[in-house]
Structure 1
């Protein structure tokens, strides 16, 4: 068998194949157990290397991450079916009460960006001695869930609307970390050929959350008051914190360091690892200025900002707009949905996300392998973006259907179908663009993911301020029809990235990797 190597000119990946285009297992390269797929990157000989963890170990850590990610938007949209009850408590209008979500949704963007230095080495002054603390991925995940739990408890007991909104805003600031560090944890644990499915699964958890949360809260509010309803949400965050404590582990691994600080053991060691105290013993590598500089340097790279700040922002803008306002359409005439019917309506977007999970699980890997075979083993990140062409079709059609049904008071099944198509498009596009970002920034996954999260959240934040007035002025048909046209136009950013992405990656290289 003749060895043939194809190397991406940017040095992103090296794929080794035989003359027929199939991965070979010779030449001292470690492969999967069946010998058909070369492991990229090649793992070290250290059992502590997350790439060497067992299947069970990797997936228990992924489960802890996934449940935390599930609660991110679940926790913020939990209250969307409780606005009516809260309006009675504070003697306010429902649209005014709904604005309590805006601050929390907005701070999910900055909160994600500020979480990035914590998963990298950060310079601090400790006991008058300059040291580096490397909290890593696990402490950020732990504190995110614990502090979110505290904020939800405080919100449930808040005596005023202002106090409640403040607690919800801080909840949004703290709870966004799982959406930011997910890409980098997947990169830490899984090989190239495994990552697309894991990214799809991770994205599924945080995209089904915005619908599963209100679905549960809507049923609970029929039996308990809204404060007790938020108490149940706090219990979910408590459970998530326990999942991180029991199943989470640190995936940060320094591959460039020959002598590493051993992982602390025992109960005390576990507490140190969870809280970040163990990070004080981390290897001295870089400073906070380096992390901040890299974060800023990545933010304006065209192959990151073009697809994320245009297409992804618009896609999430309309999706969140539907989620935060749907109850205001179906509860009044002509639909007159009661609380049970409103909660059941959330099954439609959840079904759309579930179908998109199965679709992405198969289609994205098939697409990737097809292009690798046709290019004799060479992988280019831009091939991922072909998967977005399927998503944009549904993203354009769904607002038109949704708006027409509302405008002409058609059967509610049209609302459900349009909403489901929209969430299918959202997950399908998110997986494609997230995987593309991971391919382009494999050693800076957390930094790139924070900006991806920032643009996604920015869209969700701004929609709450102009969409209701837009609908009131022009009607659902025109409003959602215009939104559909804007989605279609924004897809030009994805096409531009497919055409010029390689040139952008060559012209604007990423900063040197830290680990």
Structure 2
């Protein structure tokens, strides 16, 4: 049965043969920054929470552990909202297209996620810099994480629809992009926030994501079908 299976050469080169496709590379870059800054928040907030005022909240280790229930709950909410809203939008678009499935319609959920993402990051930065209440901190953190999950579900669905026979490679490339985009953030986020304030840090990160969204998502919705036809596998 070996002749019916993919060769070692094909298996090894599949991710490299996939990643340069324009419609995939653009959405990977957007997702890397959006999810990456979210990872930066989760790894940096422990420093802010444990630092005495005026920079942080001077939480005890147990209080910090309890605060991290916020992203856990938000991830579950975002996963549920992302899945069912995505399917709902897809069903509407299929009916409007008279039964034709268009992968780019998955990206409409990004328009829902980006305003939430921006509000969450700005509120989180303001909470640390202005030392707002813990409720404001939890709301900003939770809203940002919900937005990240909603957007990630849409991006995963879009990429898998573009390359339905390469779902393993798509998952690997998306995870690589999210990892490369996020874990380096912690090394510069705390010194930057200490020097310039948390509001500037989280505001700039949100602005970068919004800029990438404006550059990538509308372009894919306009030219994505043409790119999929020209650069298909």
**Aligned partners of 1:304 and 1:448 also within 8 Å:** no
Aligned to 1:509, the other structure's residue is in SS state coil
> Does residue 319 of the first structure (1) align with residue 38 of the second (2)?
yes
What's 2:67 paired with?
345
- What are the equivalent positions in structure 2 for 1:205-354 lying under 5 Å apart? 285-309=5-29, 311-334=30-53, 335-354=57-76
Aligned to 1:491, the other structure's residue is in SS state helix
> Does residue 504 of the first structure (1) align with residue 231 of the second (2)?
no
TM-aligned CA distance change 1:325 to 1:368, over 3 Å? same
Deviations 1:52-111 (A, max 9, x none): xxxxxxxxxxxxxxxxxxxxxxxxxxxxxxxxxxxxxxxxxxxxxxxxxxxxxxxxxxxx
RMSD: 1.5
Deviations 1:297-342 (A, max 9, x none): 1110011110111x21111221111111111111122322112211
- What are the equivalent positions in structure 2 for 1:14-413 lying under 5 Å apart? 285-309=5-29, 311-334=30-53, 335-413=57-135
**Aligned partners of 2:50 and 2:58 also within 8 Å:** yes
Instruction: Report the CA distance between 1:283 and its aligned residue.
Output: 5.3
Aligned to 2:17, the other structure's residue is in SS state helix
Q: Flag structure 2 segments of 5+ consecutive residues without an equivalent.
A: none
> Considering only CA atoms, is the larger Rg found in Structure 1 or Structure 2?
1
Q: TM-score, normalised by structure 1?
A: 0.43
2:143 and 2:18 map into 1 onto residues whose CA distance is 32
Deviations 1:150-191 (A, max 9, x none): xxxxxxxxxxxxxxxxxxxxxxxxxxxxxxxxxxxxxxxxxx
Deviations 1:478-502 (A, max 9, x none): 1111112111111121222111111
TM-aligned CA distance change 1:379 to 1:453, over 3 Å? same
- Which of 455, 479, 484 aligns to 2:177? It is 455
Aligned residues: 229
1:488 and 1:324 map into 2 onto residues whose CA distance is 22
Aligned to 1:378, the other structure's residue is in SS state coil
> Does residue 417 of the first structure (1) align with residue 136 of the second (2)?
no
TM-aligned CA distance change 1:336 to 1:293, over 3 Å? closer
Structure 1 stretches of 4+ moved >4 Å: none
Q: TM-score, normalised by structure 2?
A: 0.93
TM-aligned CA distance change 1:395 to 1:306, over 3 Å? same
Deviations 1:209-257 (A, max 9, x none): xxxxxxxxxxxxxxxxxxxxxxxxxxxxxxxxxxxxxxxxxxxxxxxxx
Q: Flag structure 1 segments of 5+ consecutive residues without an equivalent.
A: 1-259, 261-281, 511-515
1:362 and 1:290 map into 2 onto residues whose CA distance is 35
